[in-house]
Structure 1
């Protein structure tokens, strides 16, 4: 019998849908716990990133997973740093075979568990220092050093895209392991809540769902959509992430077009209904790590419209509509064509779910991740 490893994880806020990192950690941990691994998650203290009203609306306890909240300084720029430091310290002092750190910022502290003889795995969810909110100042320097510390101290580094794998090889000469995220096949829901709350019906809207941050290309989307001749709505679903000013900017940009709806953060049945009934899903990003929302959208059988960055095109291959990154004119053209060509949309919808669920499987992700855990143990 193989030894059931003890694993500590940190870098996530909580086991919720607050962001892509949180979804990944939840999927990994719940599946590993089902296989008998002893998992401890060191989570941030404090409220849900989109507001305290979301704190208790989602299941957060899972069988076989110990969750511990660490001291967190609730100040912009310090929450992630402080919680990661204490999580690193607790994981270093605990009886763990493996410490798995998620994201470049938390990886700054990878030297602490390494100093105490732990096997350290770091998953790079994206090149976070290149995000607009971290373009300069302490945050950018901290995240860049986190990347360098991952290279120096991690026993193994996991990346979620080929582009990031090439970056680590080119920049540091460091070999990494490409293990993309997975996706679950969902239950399709009929429109109920979305009709009651937003007067939306099946195929009546174009959907963007994700964090409201500049690198997601939402500015281009609003600008382009305002020029599209259609009676379909544009639904922008998601909460801010230390980006309230940007959210206000988007709403100002959308002013005067009552077809554009901002739902705020969504979860549960509302989230399922939005994915289930969209005419198309769009992800116009300039920058991504591994876009989980795109995998999810396709798993619901959506026709997707994405920018031509490698992180998106690697996922969709020829099963989606693609436009030139940052090009408002091309995005407008592709949106207009999609609205006028329902047969193309229908064809892509019919291919999406089977294709994406075959290509990206969480059980495969867990298998490959555990193989790295066990190497040299």
Structure 2
């Protein structure tokens, strides 16, 4: 098949990678994923998307053997590499030795660790990566600034936003979740602020159904992005007697079960653009209320939702007004769906990835 590809460096195979696997398959591009499977859910998601994955062992010598084996046997033209620590060197080195076209994919804070220090290991790692790679695919605007600020070759990067497939319309349009937060719980995502907002709302509307997911410590503490923050929020919920009023979940395998049922999606955070869960929820018609974090205005506007400062009383006011105005809620819901359809479909993502493969 054209552009046969190996993917290295993923901690696990989940929905957001499944979307990519599905569009690659649809476009007749053969892709195989070598994943660490820290979540233990990779087999489930690989079956869901009919994806070709191989779960790597913990023994690093065996991992190196499997890297070499797949590079020889699978014969990829391209290798996509995610930066997941020191193994990045290994993936990069063997891909270069076997003369593969390398595409490095940056997702979040990888370059912040460089801190513009040219003697740091992380700087050297990415300097080598830029030199050996065909393209650096960057998912967030703040990463573009970090890339340039660290003196990397601007001709090598391509900004490719997150994207999702549009959901198949269902006859069941029931929306029984009033307020939904579905994301990992981290300090930069202001979940404690959100709990305070919810507490005030419940004093006015005590019968609302509210769901907060993303507490990985409830399933497997080893998968937590911010162990301390999760426990701080869970303890805050308990001490404020909200345990019976807020449905708390860990990692959810099928986020669609929640997105499709939500009326309002809440996301107070430092970086809004372009969160997968935000896109997914909007695609199902949940109205987004987000903080004025980085890139918020690129996805949310006055037609499809709200961008608000971190003012508890203002969030309470807007949420109550929206819940009490079903016509406004429906209008913004339809506009949220249209926004994702027009700008952030997986088809548009695929076309940009093809530019990454064909660019100089």
Alignment TM-score > 0.5, same fold = yes
2 CA distance for matches of 1:309 and 1:156?
28
Answer whether contact 1:11 1:84 (CA < 8 A) is retained.
Answer: no
Alignment of 1:63-78 (within 5 A): 65-72=51-58
Is the contact made by 1:121 and 1:157 (CA closer than 8 Å) also made in structure 2? Answer: yes
Q: What corresponds to 1:213 in structure 2?
A: 186
Q: Is the 8 A contact 1:299 1:352 kept in 2?
A: yes
Counterpart residue number, 1:4: 2
Given that 1:100 and 1:123 are in contact with CA atoms closer than 8 Å, whether structure 2 keeps it comes out as yes
Deviation at 1:294, TM superposition (A): 0.8
Query: Who is 2:234 aligned against?
Result: 251
- Equivalence for 2:357: 373
Q: Is the 8 A contact 1:184 1:362 kept in 2?
A: yes
Q: 1:31 aligns with which of 23, 30, 49?
A: 23
Aligned 1:284-303 pairs, distance under 5 A: 284-287=268-271, 290-303=274-287
Q: What is the rounded CA distance, in whole Å, between the counterparts of 2:329 and 2:290 in structure 1?
A: 14
- The superposition leaves residues 1-56 of structure 1 with CA deviations (integer Å, 9 ceiling, x where unpaired) of xx712211122233323xxxxx1x322233223333232211115652xxxxx566
Is the 8 Å Cα contact of residues 104 and 127 (structure 1) preserved in structure 2?
no
* Preserved contact between residue 301 and residue 349 of structure 1 (Cα < 8 Å): yes
Q: Is 2:5–2:79's contact at 8 Å kept on the other side of the alignment?
A: yes
2:161 is matched with which residue: 173, 180, 186? Answer: 180
The alignment's C-alpha RMSD in Å is: 3.5
Aligned to 2:260, the other structure's residue is in SS state helix
Instruction: Give, in whole Å, the separation in 1 of the partners of 2:318 and 2:64.
Output: 45
Could you give the per-residue CA deviations for residues 264-293 of structure 1, whole angstroms, max 9, x where no partner exists?
Answer: 22233xx33321222201111223563011
Task: Give unmatched runs, 5+ long, in structure 2.
Answer: 217-222
Answer whether contact 1:190 1:276 (CA < 8 A) is retained. Answer: no
In the alignment of these two chains, the number of paired residues is 337
Q: Distance in 2 between matches of 1:143 and 1:327?
A: 37
- 1:234 correspondence with 2:210: yes
Normalising by structure 2, what TM-score? 0.79
Cα 1:4–1:225 shift into 2, 3 Å: same
**Counterpart residue number, 1:51:** none
> 1:197 corresponds to which residue?
none
Q: State the alpha-carbon separation in 1 of the partners of residues 63 and 192 from structure 2.
A: 32
Q: Taking structure 1 as reference, are residues 306 and 89 closer, same or farther at Cα in structure 2, changes over 3 Å only?
A: farther
Answer with 299-308 or 230-239: which moved more: 230-239
Report the counterpart of residue 267 of structure 1 in structure 2.
253
1:195 — aligned with what?
A: none
Deviation for aligned residue 1:178: 1.5
Q: Alpha-carbon deviation of 1:149? A: 4.4
Q: CA deviation at 1:70?
A: 1.9
Aligned to 2:81: 101
Indicate if the aligned counterparts of 1:108 and 1:142 stay in contact, CA closer than 8 A.
no
Structure 1 pair 331–246 and aligned structure 2 pair: CA distance change class (3 A):
same
The verdict on how the C-alpha distance between 1:273 and 1:33 changes in structure 2, with shifts beyond 3 A counting, is: closer
1:318-337 paired onto structure 2 within 5 Å: 318=302, 319-324=304-309, 327-328=311-312, 330-337=314-321
Contact 1:284 1:306 in 2 (8 A): yes
Query: 2:21–2:49: 8 Å Cα contact kept in structure 1?
Result: no
The two structures have a TM-score, normalised by structure 1, of: 0.76
